[in-house]
């Protein structure tokens, strides 16, 4: 299924825990990442939107990534977010990801200037690729225009694919716009499309999609994996209906705070619920309500002891 890249399946944008002093907490981070791989994730995409990646410092991102690899996580399952507003900082983070052997890098377009031209974005990526060099570099474009204000047009994707076919490996589409995902799946050959929501997982797979990269995979990867592993079976629709329903409930709460809240609740570790400003954590009573509602409506319990 995967065309040019090594990554496929269910990929979690790992949430980033902060310790009592507000700094990124490598110990909890590594523990959670390892658990996600046990829970069914085929890959990890730290430093995405759900990870509060843009709230982390450059040094924090690089240190956390190194901690993962030092702890034994195979870099071949890693697709860290490396896109910033600045070409220089994006080169620094992308080069670092390549140097430690990550399977890919998930790259936001530069998002400070509104409405950049496709020519300007093309130049940005051409310079990024030239600077990092294409040996071992696999870029996944991160399309989330409702957050970043800047997206990837189909024209730009085609142009980047045409010029850098060995490097530009795929795209995460978090726009929520199925017609855009469908166009990419049908019009861009040999390109790994990951919907940013598991609601489109089965529909994507049927058109050759590579899997899913979803916030909710932080707590519900196992169920998504059932869709991915069985997408051609007669149970696929029922498996999909289950993850779609779960997501619908989950996203009635703020997703970043909600994922962390569920981990805090089931790990019995309130520190997990914190987020970095400008975000604010979910109040305790809302955390309890969310957990209770998911348990009641979706039979959901998070088990952090190894269950495999």
Q: For the CB of residue 112, give the shortest distance to a second copy in the complex, in Å.
A: 4
Task: Report which of 132, 200, 193 is spatially closest to residue 161, judged by C-alpha positions.
Answer: 193
Measured CA to CA, the distance from residue 183 to residue 207 in angstroms comes to 10
Q: Is 140 a catalytic residue?
A: no
Bridge partners (DSSP) of residue 194 are: 172
Q: For the CB of residue 206, give the shortest distance to a second copy in the complex, in Å.
A: 32
DSSP string, 186-213: HHSTT-EEEESSGGGHHHHHHTT--EEE
Measured CA to CA, the distance from residue 26 to residue 68 in angstroms comes to 8
Residue in 140, 152, 172, 253 annotated catalytic: 172
Q: Is 142 a catalytic residue?
A: yes
Cβ nearer to a second copy, comparing 31 with 60 = 60
Query: Which residues contribute to the site for a second copy (CB under 8 A)?
Result: 22, 49, 54-60, 84-89, 91-92, 109-114, 116-117, 119-121, 123-124, 127, 146-149, 276-280
Q: For the CB of residue 302, give the shortest distance to a second copy in the complex, in Å.
A: 25
Cβ nearer to a second copy, comparing 34 with 95 = 95
Cβ nearer to a second copy, comparing 28 with 225 = 28
Q: For the CB of residue 76, give the shortest distance to a second copy in the complex, in Å.
A: 28
Residue in 140, 142, 200, 253 annotated catalytic: 142
Cβ nearer to a second copy, comparing 127 with 297 = 127
Measured CA to CA, the distance from residue 212 to residue 11 in angstroms comes to 6
Task: Report which of 178, 171, 132, 225 is spatially closest to residue 45, judged by C-alpha positions.
Answer: 171
Distance of CA 80 to CAs 43, 47, 66, 104, 262, Å? Answer: 10, 6, 11, 7, 23
Provide the annotated active-site residues: 142, 172
């Amino acid at each position: 299924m995967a065309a040019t890249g090594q990554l496929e399946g269910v990929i979690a944008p790992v949430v980033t825990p902060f310790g009592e002093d507000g700094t990124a907490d490598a110990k909890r981070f590594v523990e959670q990442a390892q658990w996600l791989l046990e829970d069914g994730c085929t890959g990890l995409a730290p430093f995405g939107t759900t990870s509060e990646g843009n709230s982390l410092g450059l040094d924090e991102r690089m240190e956390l990534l190194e901690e993962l690899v030092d702890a034994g996580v195979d870099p071949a399952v890693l697709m860290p977010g490396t896109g910033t507003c600045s070409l220089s900082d994006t080169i620094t983070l992308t080069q670092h990801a390549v140097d430690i052997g990550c399977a890919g890098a998930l790259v936001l377009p530069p998002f400070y200037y509104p409405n950049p031209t496709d020519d300007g974005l093309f130049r940005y990526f051409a310079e990024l690729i030239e600077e990092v060099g294409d040996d071992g570099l696999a870029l996944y474009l991160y399309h989330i225009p409702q957050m970043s204000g800047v997206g990837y047009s189909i024209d730009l994707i085609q142009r980047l694919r045409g010029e850098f076919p060995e490097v530009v490996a795929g795209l995460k589409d978090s726009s929520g716009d199925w017609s855009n995902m469908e166009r990419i799946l049908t019009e861009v050959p040999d390109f790994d499309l990951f919907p940013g929501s598991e609601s489109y997982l089965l529909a994507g797979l049927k058109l050759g999609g590579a899997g899913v990269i979803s916030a909710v995979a932080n707590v519900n990867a196992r169920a998504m994996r059932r869709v991915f592993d069985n997408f051609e079976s007669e149970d696929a629709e029922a498996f999909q209906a289950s993850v779609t329903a779960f997501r619908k409930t989950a996203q009635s709460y703020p997703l970043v705070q909600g994922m962390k809240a569920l981990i805090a609740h089931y790990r019995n570790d309130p520190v997990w619920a914190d987020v970095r400003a400008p975000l604010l954590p979910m109040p305790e009573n809302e955390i309890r309500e969310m957990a209770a509602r998911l348990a009641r409506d979706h039979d959901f319990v998070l088990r952090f002891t190894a269950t495999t």
